[in-house]
Structure 1
């Protein structure tokens, strides 16, 4: 029978290994969660640092920086804040905060996104614009360097 002085370190090693493996389990990314609700991952830019999804569909997504980018297919300029919140259910993002679109020279908050068939409808109050979901297959990249910060300030 092995002595306790030899089995205890082995037991502690196995316990530590088990805990490390269970803590590093592959939880889905924010992009995978979006896809699970019927949205293409590209409606969210690269750079998600963390997210929280509540049982009632309430969510919070944190980006590494404020992000401003132009959607090539539409020409619209979008602004994502560091913190994006709302409620999600299949095919619907509601009560959105933290995402804006520039129309003419004014920024408007996008408060809802709805998927209908292969199109996405983006709502700014009662107004909406639709685009094929295929336009959002890839997550756009944001530059979080000083250029991004300067652009954000000068466009405000």
Structure 2
């Protein structure tokens, strides 16, 4: 009899824990209409004020990677304001080419495109480019890098 009374309590407790699970930063960004690939794969934690949209993301370390000829850099902590299909007041994210680097201050989802703004300059990319999260160091091309590394190892034998 004691065990039969415990079972419903355990099921109720387990159900409430599962239902109370906090969404990941990747799930949250999707809730606002953005693909997960706008966030590096190294997210450690985040804070979000759902009323104002103000957020802060902490990575395991600062992060940089190549993307479409640009060197993209995330500080260990970056922040901004998120609304449906719009990220504004971004701080801690930059992109550069050659010797010029600019702070990314805004990102907007427009249909199948994500536009990034660095003040007066903006550039759009296909949403499909961000289906998976980039890894620090190699970005979206880590599989290609692994194949190249494996081939180099094979040549040394």
TM-score (norm: length of structure 2):
0.75
Q: 2:79 is matched with which residue?
A: 85
Root-mean-square deviation (Å)? 2.4
Q: 1:135 is matched with which residue?
A: 129
Does residue 122 (structure 1) correspond to residue 121 (structure 2)? The answer is: no
Q: 2:146 is matched with which residue?
A: none
> Where do 5+ consecutive residues of structure 1 fail to align?
1-10, 144-156
> Where do 5+ consecutive residues of structure 2 fail to align?
1-5, 138-157
Does residue 31 (structure 1) correspond to residue 6 (structure 2)? The answer is: no
Q: Of 39, 42, 62, which aligns to 1:44?
A: 39
How many pairs align?
132
- Distance across 2 between alignment mates of 1:128 and 1:42: 18
- Distance across 1 between alignment mates of 2:18 and 2:24: 15
- Distance across 1 between alignment mates of 2:101 and 2:120: 15
1:112, distance to aligned residue in structure 2 (A): 0.1
- Distance across 1 between alignment mates of 2:78 and 2:18: 26
Q: Deviations over 1:16-35 (max 9, x none)?
A: x949x639942110011001
